[in-house]
Structure 1
């Protein structure tokens, strides 16, 4: 079955196939899948090709592991999760060559969104997914997992060509030539960048597909972080440092004796003020007259506005707008009161005239 609009396979793939269009070889189909803790359904449902059959489990620490049985070249991962899977937190994929050392292996993915499709280039035997913990426990429901690659003895688009007999381990998936870890290019003569997060780069281009080590960036992770950046793929900023300059690897501020307003003083200046505090070393308290808390952690400005009738930087001034609104109201009240008084005077005069005329008529009648 496929979607008539985009041809995406809706119910899964035939054995040994994976991907949205079931056009990629799935080496996980012959792998051994286990989950911790053991769930109500067998873990093998996650590689039966059917996205409607799912494996469920839950606990304080939840993992799903695929044993490819031999080290293999992997170029992508496809995972279909069920509805009960815990969403909040970091979802992590590890690559390792032993089943018990996955946490010290290579991190292939670590994000707050579910890793439904990942492109990479790595060599490993075990793929381990660790579910985030929300509250006291985590839930995991995996309906299908596909690992794109070829068995170590084959190569080609459909993995239907055999590697040379003298290959020790997997051969290049495109050319079938002997694979040498840490190299790429024609005859594997070029060396992958030592700053790639995973030692093996793309076998043809040398691209670091999994990302760069802390302090490095670029296609092949050969560029140092720009000034003011640090961390994995230079994705973090030294915004708390007074000089806005820090160590590109670990974020240590060049000037460690003080931090910008809005941060607690420290070597890294990466701890922001708690709600309700602001300024240098977070030593000042936000105005209680702010409409919304907290105030700006750097300046103390009531960024959400002020309580009714007040204005200003920290809401200590009487609002001119309120006074302007009050003037027309007072004018309207005055006009209304004046109108009422004028009406009362006119009514009194009219009454007096009527009474006087009646008295005059009465006197004339008596005569």
Structure 2
């Protein structure tokens, strides 16, 4: 095959040709046999000197891989180079540009490229080795180096010469070139292949890659919770916790301002309702008593005392003071009496309790005898009585219990009323 002319006297300044292998292969080597003329070997070699070889998957030099670039020395007519590349097309390219100084061995006028044969050796995809009997690493993208099995490129999420390492933490994607957003639940890193958060997003974040904050008024995991709406002065709640970081509107309390004040009012319910409100209930915003005031108080918050109650309080205070003084005096007297008795006991009886009790007992006996005598009255001799005077000198006979006594008959008594009366 002979290409069109290039060089100083030619219309064209560049030339190329390509070989289509029919499908993609893992290429090992490329051999080209250029045409020779007896006695003109150096001329032939100088004509195609400076060429380049590319391997492409699309057939276009743009985006293809450079396999070989000729140097200052003239190439051989029977050329072979190792080219461990992956592709479907082998492209030959050469040029003779104006204004470029080429080596003196190069032909620059009437430059033709004539070739006889092109041989490309290699293996099917995903195998390597001299016999094409070894499998490429599983995470290689497309093919591997036909000699060593190293991957030309890795599958998404893998790295390393043989694509056997996952992306380092917080990175993912092709060539591990994309960074995780850092908003996965539990602080874990994203999936090294897809960039997704396997366990979902952290509180306050949503979207496919957890890279979008919750909308205003929502919070929590996947932003499914609504804020209470009672944060101070309409401020937004915390998108992670739902708390009102700036405080609550008057009448509400709790960290998320979701609880109404009970028996209290104002900002964060820090003011208790007046104790003089009935049931201590008041308006949670203003503190105004919800019903009536206790007796003796008036005003919106039942904090003002009536004059009558003040007078009553003064009277009660005076009575309490008087009672306290009297009680103090009584206690003082009792304490003094006990102390006096103790001193008397120690001095009179020398601490002997028996002498004290004996003295007290004899004193009481004498007093009692005197009292009995004073209270006794002699019977009047003129008093009419049915009793006979007892003679102390009279000798009485002893009563015999076995003696049969006759029944006594009481005068003026009906015998039928009292029967069988015996003494």
TM-score by length of 2: 0.26
Query: Highest Rg: 1 or 2?
Result: 2
TM-score by length of 1: 0.30
* Higher relative contact order (CA closer than 8 Å, sequence separation 6+): 1
